Structure 1
Amino acid sequence: MALAETILAAENSISGNIATVGYGLAVIGPGIGLGILIGKTIEGMARQPEVSGQLRTTMFIGIGFVEVLGLLGLVTGFLFT
C-alpha cells in the first residue's frame, strides 16, 4: 500500500504541462536559424563587398521572419499553458 501512496504523491507533485517544454524547445530552432542566416550573410559580404547593401537588406527581412517564428512559439507557450 505504501508504494501506491508514493506513486499517487509523485503524480500529484508534478505540475505544469509538457507543452511548456515543447514550446520552449520551439524557440531553439529560430535561434539556430538566426546564427546560420547572419553567418552566411557575413560570409557573402566578405566574398563580394559590392553587394553588401542588398545582402544586408535581405538579411534584415529574413531576421524579421525568423524572429516572428520564435515569438509565436513563445507566445503560444504562454497562451496554452
Structure 2
Amino acid sequence: MNTSRTATRTTPPYAPAGALVTTAMAAEEAAVAPDTIRKWVQLGHIAPAGRSGRSHLFHLADVFAAERATRRPHELRA
C-alpha cells in the first residue's frame, strides 16, 4: 500500500481557483476528515457551490478559507 500523499492526490496542486471538488477531495486538500467538512457546512463556515448527484461540491478557495477560519490560535503560530 502506497501512503505517499503525492501518489494518492486526486486533484492537481495547480487546480484553478474556481475548481470544484467533492467533500472527500476538499477534506484531503485541507488535511481534515470528510466529517469535518460536513461539520463546517453545518456551522456555516463553508457553503456548497453545487452538487454532483448526491455529493456536494466546493470551491477550493472556500475550503482553504474555512480551514484558516477554524484554526485554533496555537495552530496559527509558525
Q: Which TM class, normalised by the smaller chain length? A: under 0.3
Structure with the larger strand share: 2
Structure with the larger helix share: 1
Higher relative contact order (CA 8 A, sep 6+): 1
TM-score (norm 2): 0.22
TM-score (norm 1): 0.22
